Amino acid sequence: MEVPAGLPGGKEPALPSVSQPIPVHITVVNAQDLKTLKSSVLVTLVRVEYNGAVLGDSSKTHVLPDGTAEYDFSTSFECSPDGPNPLDVLVQKPLLLTVLEVGPKERKKPEKITPLAQAVVDLLPLLQGVRSLKVFAPLYAVPASPSEMLHPEATGGLEVIVSTKELLLSATQFSSGNLLSITLEAAYSVPTAFTCDTQQNYMACLQIPAAGEKELPLLFKNGILKADGEKEPLPRPKNWPIGPLLAPGALNIPDSFIVGGPYEDEDGELTKSEDREFRIQAESRKRIVWDTERRCFLDAAAVAVLQKRIAECRYWPVEVCRMYIPSAGKGKITKIDKGDEDKQIAFHGVAYVNMVHLLCPGVKQIRGAFRVFTYEDSEVFEKTKIQHSIFRDRRSQLSLAREVLRSSPVSKAAPSKAQKEEKDLGTTQYNEAGTFLVMEIKLDRPLVPKRLREELVRRIKELIPPRPALPPRTEGARKVVEDYHKRVTSIAVDILREYHELFGKQLPDQGTMDHETLEEQKRQLNYELNTSGKYFAFKEQLKYSVVKIVREKYLKTTAFETKEQLQEFLSELYVYLVDHMHIALNKLLSGEDVSPAPPPCTTRKQLWLFAREAEANKDFKLASLFYKQRIARDQRSIQSWLDYGTFCLLYEDATKAQECFQQALCLDRQHIQSLLLCGIVAVKLQHYEEAEIFFEDACCLEPSSIIAWTLSGLFYELQNNDIQAGRNFREAKKLLRAQLEEERRILEAAEGEGKKPSSPSTEPEKIPDGSPDKPPEVMECVTPKEEAAALQEAPEAPCPAPGPQPPPCTIFMKTVEFLMKVNAVQFVHKALAHELLQGGPTFAYYLALAWTHLLEEDFPRCEECLCEAIRINPMNPNVWAQKGHLCYLQKDFDKAKDCYERVISFVEDAVDIHFVYLRLGSIYLEEKEYGRAKQIFLLACDNSASCLTWLGVGIACYRLEEMLEAEDALSEANALNNTNAEVWGYLALICLQVSAQPLPA
């Protein structure tokens, strides 16, 4: 439990000065569950230590039967910048508490005091604005002998209160500073010359820049050399940077663990697939393990220096060495130690840690493997601009005990011959063994804050100014009035039926009924309707229609402020409803057709298909007209704006495409596809700052989107920001691995139930389009858009090829699928370049590359790519469809016909089968094979009917002199598009043919 600090009046105390040390008070309240540590314990005391100094012992206390012991022992130490316990010590060294068992006093012998258990308390919260800290510190048993088993089930602990009268750091000082934690896990694949010698100490050290010219050395010593065997478990606890404790468990930092992770997600070296096997083997062979975390607090000035140093030189040296600890007996120094204070360093190496990742927005942590090289002054200076070695030149700053490191300068004595040979040997063995360090560098807050989602939304609103509101839709009001007419008509028919049941039908020859009889019948009818409940039912039927009129026609959805306003509105509404009731009844009684106007013959889905057909025929003006008609049909359709924008991006003006994408984004500010397309077009227009905002917002809005992270990475790569690009690619790969793992788990579960599901990994990532009538997943294969069809059938890089186990897909081919649909050619080239580096060309790679070459009208290269794709997977119908379209554009109709006929012979249709039918049918018409042409165009009509498909049927029937069928087909074509001149021309020919025929006798 932490008690936050606060001062009267809201004032913050100043940072304690050098001359004003602040005491830190420690109170050990009691111990609990001591019997779980040792059932026979009777009397105990507690010893409090900090930074190697004993602060005091409590009085002897009896342990109660329930295992508790009340100590109420208080002590303190001073925190002072110039004393033994400065902030640097406080942030990384814990308070050590040892429970000692007091044995019974024997005659003429002192009491036997033996350690029972130890606990540690982390004092870091005292720097985080806390003045009083109350914790329950777990006790870890001290083994009486190395062979004694510890008690993992022990639940004992100490209740401790730590407090200060003043804040060690004010809230402002802590928030402007930063907490840096560095964890050195292990060194793997170490030289074979390393041995488990008690006189050898394996160390590593690096320096952290502080304010001014100061540097803070962080030393990791006492590395444990482990032989071949089981690899280190994960997760495993991190250790305090203090010497060996009596209770091994107390060395673990509470709630701080090394969790590891996939090699591909790391920020260091050895992250490629070819390094995986080497690392797996190295982790189970001879290694040096530290698992130690060191922390330091950087004030605002130190944080600024840290950022500056990283920006100036991205690599920081981490020195490693094997240190010789001289042995001494009876106050004498052995022969090898005499005069050799500076000769204990051997196997001096250095690892270069790329720290520039910490300058990426929002990045607080880097972790990875870093190769160890021979320490060479010139190489270290070239990479890090550092001219000194910590172990060799600045050992006095490490504050080590004299028996570990001597402080004599190197130049005072020459190394012995044996040591020189050992040093030379070490300089080569690191490189030969392939030694690498695994370490983690973590900050409490990122050096470069990441923009918040709110800020990104605000920036996007600034980039996309508010547009005038779209005109109100009249279809809704018209429809509710029509519904009201229908309801009035229906109720009138029901009332008339009731009248006929009561009084029978009045025939015209029966004469006119007198007024009194009509009034009597009206009275009886009203009585019957009211007593039977039908009048109430009729009112309920009418109520819903009236409510819709109020909402849609009068746009009234809120309550009235005064009764006068309500009465005025009711009067107006009553007059309106009565008028329209009369209109409906007059239509009913006069026998007029009250059926609503027929809907348009074409839907937005069909208009989309017509536009794609126009693109395929290179009639871009007509295609643009169809896209505009879709938008005019419903200006609130996001997908209609996006489709027209992608068309403009490729065939018209990028500025017009930008307007379309921004309009789609205005309709839905959280539409991820619109955000990505706005970013893509901004890159094409070289508005790079705007593009970064769009891509960053897409990643914030949909952090699980593989495509968003990959596109963002490609953008940063265009900006030569390789570090940020790499991080985004790693995030996308992590998401893809998780997705594939989940799909594998689902497949295994389905197989266990006896099902045979289709693998979801072949499905492209779904990006919401916000459209209720999303166009079918068809991409043309003649124009550049057409080739994308093949990738939709084979959406992931190697996935389309048949076989028992498809190769894994990649983030780049998933992104290529999306990019081809939106005609983002520049990004397609970037993604394909990465795909080529991932593992070589694949079927989908060649298919996508062929699309780009066809777009550039580079037919020879397109043909080369298609030949390679056919070689890899000759049974895929999509590649043959694309090959047929290439031949069609080259006017090689014989080869095109062969390819198309091969496509339609496959059991599975190509994704763009509609365009295969159109092109093959047109070839048959040119070759005067009218029967086959008619059959193919009928297949096209059955698949996706359009004006062109029915026109093809009409032409074929006309040539076959089947005039009635030709007229029917051309009428269908004309109904779908009455602006096609060729349709009208053939209709005229049919009329001429019919009129020229002689009349039957």
Q: What is the largest CA-CA distance in the chain?
A: 149
The first and second tokens of residue 413, run together, are 């004595």
Bridge partners, 184 (sequence order):
292, 439
Tokens of 407: 């402080």
Which pair of tokens denotes residue 378? Answer: 């010139």
1-37 tens-digit pLDDT: 444 444 334 343 334 433 478 999 999 999 999 888 8
**Cβ–Cβ under 8 Å, residues 358 and 450:** no
**pLDDT confidence of residue 545:** 85
**Inter-residue contact 183 to 440 (CB < 8 Å):** yes
Query: How high is the pLDDT of residue 715?
Result: 96
Residue 807, pLDDT score: 44
Write down the pLDDT at residue 75.
Answer: 95
Half-sphere exposure of 574 (CA within 13 A, CB side): 6
Specify which residues 328 forms β-bridges with: 333
Task: Using pLDDT thresholds of 50, 70 and 90, give the confidence band for residue 788.
Answer: very low
What is the phi/psi pair of residue 55, to 5°? -85, -20
**Per-residue model confidence (pLDDT) at position 410:** 37
C-alpha to C-alpha distance for 883 and 317, rounded to whole angstroms: 56
Average pLDDT over residues 397-402: 53
Exposed (0-12), middle (13-18) or buried (19+): which is 995, by Cβ within 10 Å?
A: exposed
Of the pLDDT bands very low, low, confident and very high (cuts 50, 70, 90), residue 799 is very low
One-letter amino acid of 531 = T
Among residues 99, 77, 121, the alpha carbon closest in space to that of 30 is found at 99
For residue 802, pLDDT beyond 50 = no
Amino acid sitting at position 964: L
| 449 vs 359: CA distance, rounded Å | 9
135's tokens: 């914790």
Residue 867 half-sphere exposure toward CB, CA atoms < 13 A: 7
> Taking 70 as the threshold, does the pLDDT of residue 475 lie above it?
no
User: So what's the pLDDT on residue 461?
Assistant: 84
Give 316's strand partners.
Answer: 353
Indicate the pTM of the whole model: 0.74
- The helix (H) or strand (E) run that includes residue 855 is helix 843-855
Instruction: List the one residue out of 127, 117, 96 whose CA is nearest residue 26.
Output: 96
Return the structure tokens found at 938: 């009928």
The reported pLDDT for the residue numbered 144 is 74
Q: What is the Cβ-side half-sphere exposure of residue 858, based on CA atoms within 13 angstroms?
A: 11
Name the least confident of 415-429, 694-708, 825-839.
Answer: 415-429
Q: In the chain, what percentage of residues exceed pLDDT 70?
A: 82
Q: Higher model confidence: residue 497 or residue 372?
A: 372
Of residues 352, 317, 342, 348, the one with CA closest to residue 191:
348
3-state secondary structure of 194: coil
Query: Cα 357 from chain centroid?
Result: 18
Task: Tell me the mean pLDDT in the region 778-792.
Answer: 33
The first and second tokens of residue 248, run together, are: 């091994």
Q: What is the mean pLDDT of residues 217-244?
A: 89
What percent of the chain is helix, strand and coil (3-state, nearest 5)?
50, 15, 35
Residue whose entry in the numeric block shows the structure tokens 């643009």: 624
Average pLDDT over residues 632-654: 91
pLDDT level of residue 782 (50, 70, 90 thresholds): very low
Q: CA-CA distance, 393 to 196, in Å (whole number)?
A: 27
Coil, strand or helix at 117: strand
CB 853 within 8 A of CB 863: no
For residue 336, pLDDT over 70 is answered with no
Q: With contact defined as beta carbons under 8 Å apart, do 310 and 359 qualify?
A: yes
What tokens appear for 626 in the block? 């169809």
- CA triplet 698, 703, 706: central angle to 5 degrees? 85
Q: How far is it, in rounded angstroms, from Cα 122 to Cα 40?
A: 30
pLDDT of 518 strictly over 50: yes
Residue 472 confidence (pLDDT): 55
| Residue 389 pLDDT level (bands cut at 50, 70, 90) | confident
Tens of pLDDT, residue by residue over 48-73, are 999 989 999 999 999 999 989 999 99
What's the rounded mean pLDDT across residues 165-173? 86
Q: Which two tokens stand for residue 804?
A: 């028992």
Asked whether residue 934 carries a pLDDT value surpassing 90, the answer given is yes
CA angle 470, 472, 477 (to 5 degrees): 160
Dihedrals phi, psi of 48, to nearest 5 degrees: -110, 125
> Considering the chain, what is the average pLDDT of its residues?
82
Tell me the CA distances in angstroms from 891 to 139, 923, 963, one per residue in order.
85, 10, 31
Over residues 791-797, mean pLDDT: 33
Q: Helix H segments across 841-962?
A: 843-855, 859-872, 877-889, 893-905, 913-926, 930-944, 947-959
**In a 3-state reduction of DSSP, which class is residue 719?**
coil
State how far the Cα of 783 lies from the Cα of 777, in Å rounded to an integer. 16
End-to-end Cα, the chain, rounded Å: 110
Residues 706/735, Cβ–Cβ less than 8 Å: yes
Say which residue the tokens 């953008």 belong to: 715
- Asked whether residue 952 carries a pLDDT value surpassing 80, the answer given is yes
pLDDT of residue 48: 96
> How high is the pLDDT of residue 5?
43
pLDDT-based confidence at residue 563 (cuts at 50, 70, 90): confident
The stretches of 395-514 forming alpha helices (DSSP H) are 417-433, 453-463, 475-503
Three-point CA angle 58, 63, 69, nearest 5°: 50
Other Cβ atoms less than 10 A from the Cβ of 865: the count is 24
CA distance 882 to 849: 12
What backbone torsions phi and psi does residue 636 show, to the nearest 5 degrees?
A: -95, 5
For residues 662 and 678, is the Cβ–Cβ distance under 8 A? Answer: yes
> Which tops the pLDDT comparison, 252 or 143?
252
Other C-beta atoms lying within 10 Å of the C-beta of residue 729: 21
- Beta-strand ranges (E) seen in 128-268 are 130-138, 140-141, 157-163, 178-188, 200-209, 215-226, 236-239, 252-258
In the chain, the percentage of residues whose pLDDT exceeds 90 is: 43
Q: In angstroms, rounded to a whole number, what is the distance separating the alpha carbons of residues 864 and 200?
A: 63
In terms of Cα–Cα distance, which of 144, 253, 611, 185 is closest to 437? 185
Q: 120: Cβ–Cβ under 8 A, 6 or more apart, which residues? A: 94, 95, 96, 97, 137, 240, 250, 254
The burial class, CB within 10 Å (0-12 / 13-18 / 19+), for 501 is exposed
CB atoms within 10 A of CB 635: 14
**Tokens matching residue 656:** 């017009």
Does 738 score more than 80 pLDDT?
yes
User: Lowest-pLDDT range, 53-67, 325-339, 726-740, 819-833?
Assistant: 325-339
What mean pLDDT is predicted for residues 863-891? 92
Residue with tokens 């022992």: 73
Q: How many residues does the chain have?
A: 1001
- Burial of 81 (C-beta count, 10 Å sphere; 0-12/13-18/19+): middle
- Per the model's pLDDT, the better-predicted residue between 789 and 30 turns out to be 30
951-967 burial, b for 16+ CB within 10 Å, e for fewer? bbbbbbbbbeebbebbb
Asked if 298 and 174 count as a contact pair (C-beta separation under 8 A), the reply is no
Region of 705 please: left (phi>0), alpha (psi -120 to 50) or beta.
beta
Cβ proximity of 793 and 913 under 8 Å: no
The answer to whether the bond into 317 is cis (omega within 30° of 0) is no
